Amino acid sequence: MAPVSARGPRLLLRRLREIMAEPGSAQTRLNKLVSVIASIMVAEVCSIYLRRAGNLLELFATEGLNPSAVHNTRLKQGEGLVGWVAETADAVNLSDAPSDPHFSYRPETGEDPYKSFLGVPIVRGGQVFGVLTVQNKTARQYAEEEVEALQTVAMVLAEVVAQGNLFDIAELDEPELRPDRPLAFHAEGLCEGVAVGRVVLHEPRVRVERMIADNPVIELKRLDDAIGGLRLSVDRMLDSSELDLTGEGREVIETYRLFTYDQGWLARMRDAINTGLTAEAAVERVQDDMRLRVNRLGDPLLRERAHDLDDLARRLLRHLTGDGEHEEELPPDAVLVARAMGPADLVDYRRGRILGLVLEEAASTSHVAIVARSMGVPLVGSAEGITDAARAGDPIAVDGEIGEVHLRPPSEIILAFEARRAMRAHRVARFARIRDLPAVTKDGVHIRLMMNAGLLFDMPQLHESGADGVGLFRTELQFMIGETMPRLADQTAFYKQVLDSAGEKPVVFRTLDLGGDKVLPYARWEREENPSLGWRAIRIALDRPALLRYQVRALLAAAAGGTLRLLLPLVSEVAEFNAARALIDREVERARLLSHPQPRQVLVGAMLEVPALAFMLPQIMRSADFVSIGSNDLFQFVFAVDRTNPRVARRYDPLNPAALTLIRQIVHSAAEASGELSLCGEMAGHPLDAMALIGLGLRTLSMQPSHIGPIKMMIRSMNAAEVSEFVVKLCGRTDHSLRTRLSAFAAERGIVLK
């Protein structure tokens, strides 16, 4: 068999284009296509298998096998060599196919004489549409050039099939491949609310209209020009003093700058053009190959690099299509859909009108989720595959409470979601009526309801929600959404604006809680095997004391004349807290010696997130002015569960007897030490969970501002003594979760949970 490089893969693509343009039935064109491929590749067999309903691979056309097998031979995914190619989404190249354990003999095909086998997947957008194969009687390994030529044809064939240019895709009888089918995603609700609108893709796929090149020299020049334009646009983003125009963080943009000079990436695209593809098709071909390799390896660092290269490829495609600088106006009913998004991206979009947000990669504690809750934008995360399925302008319905997303929904689904939205608006109106009423139980127990915040535009919600103050202000968000470390003057001005917005209400500033999933875009961080248990929060502050002192200096200046409340995150032992407090005291002394204005009072608290600190409550209460339970991390460590891992994140319930017993012991220890105790975390914002916490003796809860109305309504309908008696009894049980028992109790007592 002559090497295909000598025959020219461009000839394959040119003939493919001619066949596509010919009149005639789909079967006629497919028959011509396999005949041409076999001829040019000097193969004795060429076959196309396409997906059918039930994930079956049906022989649609062949040159060399028995013609009667067409539309009669079907293989399950994973069955035979063809099924293996579809399952792995990778090329299979064998010199002696019948001896391979994956080989499945089908007598009706008449493939007995053929030894060598090469099969490549027909892939588009991460979905396998089918398999393209060639076979020969001679036992030989196909050359790398031959494999690449067949992959190039398969890539073009996938685009042709998906766009319906070869035949009606409905003929495949595979609903999963139809681009206009309704889809439902049952994912993770990260921010409550209901949205019905139209899809806006955060980084929309650029539709490649022309796949086959007329002149490779021209295409190489177009690629070089686009790379030059891309580099200039990246440099302009980095030179800008504001957040970049497309909302990418500086770390990503810095990475883009390096990637635009990656000679390996550029060489692979140039090689693809030399096979006969257009510049746009070459970019897509290289990215598809890279995605498949990364998905097979499963390495998280490589996956991050893949996301960066995906974004870079989309930008490059825009430059190739002349759309590099275009910014589209958001429609009034925009629902953003994206694989992933940083907090700066969402802040940047706030200038438009966003009804909802759907992401493939986001957890409840990710910063984009925190920003979404601050903005009151319904958010659903872990909606795997939605970015490949969604098209700009598609109708979409989102429920951020239960994590339900309907893409291209039928009219009855839209009506149901509209009803949900109206019901939610009614609930919001009910909560607004009790905004200024105290959070007092029927038996006279007063509960302080504080709100969590992290950005300046959160602060108006302090008064709108009726919160008693800010129980947790996440200071790291200011550091994460900027391009550089905030200057001292900028930090001071920011913290002063926060305090001025709060007026007489207290604000608790948590010092920088960096590390883990919170990495500064302008800093270098070493990879850790288990970052949530690694170098983060107070551990960074003690190893880099200048960072903590720099922040405290700004906070002291901002709170001059008032009370400054600081909260140290992830304290594991009393000695650790004392060391950090000594650094704060040095800054207080420095301000005194320099005669700088300073607060009348500085209160320093410890965040109880590490179980070890629960056993040292009396001792920490002698050193700290207050303690705040961080329930998110505390229960992650108590149950040894990675809360960012969807396979285990929901395995354990905060209303487990062990969790409630631990909270009860913490409350008792704090009471014995006469210390001030509060809880901030996701469970504080859920009425049933909050009812249990109050029953265990907690009297200060901090939550997202949108949760304060429901929690206050629940409090005003409960009797604290009755709940306490019931919850304490439940702590001795061995149930997986006490949620059902607590719900039944609330229903019997008329406690409002919705």
Q: Compute the Cα dihedral for 143, 148, 149, 151 and give only its sign.
A: positive
Query: Is 191 assigned a catalytic role?
Result: no
Rounded Cα distance, 205 and 202, in Å: 9
What is the token pair recorded at 225?
A: 């020009």
56-63 vs 74-76, strand pairing mode = antiparallel
What is the token pair recorded at 294?
A: 């990364």
Q: Which of 680, 686, 707, 731 is flagged as catalytic? A: 680
**3-class secondary structure per residue, 467-482:** CCCEEEEECHHHHHCC
274, 216 in Cβ contact below 8 A?
A: yes
Q: Where are the beta strands (DSSP E) in 528-676?
A: 563-568, 601-608, 626-630
The alpha carbon of 702 is separated from its chain's Cα centroid by a whole number of angstroms, namely 25
Query: Is 367 assigned a catalytic role?
Result: yes
The alpha carbon of 660 is separated from its chain's Cα centroid by a whole number of angstroms, namely 31
What is the token pair recorded at 132?
A: 């393209």
Cα separations (Å) of 11 from 16, 31, 574?
Answer: 8, 17, 74
Q: At what angle do helices 9-21 and 26-40 cross, to 10 degrees?
A: 170
Count of Cβ atoms closer than 10 Å to residue 684 Cβ: 26
| Residues 6 or more apart in contact with residue 179 via CB below 8 angstroms | 162, 169, 391
Rounded Cα distance, 508 and 495, in Å: 11
Rounded Cα distance, 242 and 347, in Å: 12
Q: Which of 202, 319, 367, 707 is flagged as catalytic? A: 367
What is the token pair recorded at 481?
A: 């959404």
| Residues 6 or more apart in contact with residue 630 via CB below 8 angstroms | 569, 570, 607, 608, 609, 680, 681
SS3 content of the chain, % helix, strand, coil (to 5): 50, 15, 35
Rg (CA), the chain: 30
What is the token pair recorded at 506?
A: 């207290």
Residue 160, helix vs strand vs coil: helix
Catalytically annotated residues? 367, 680
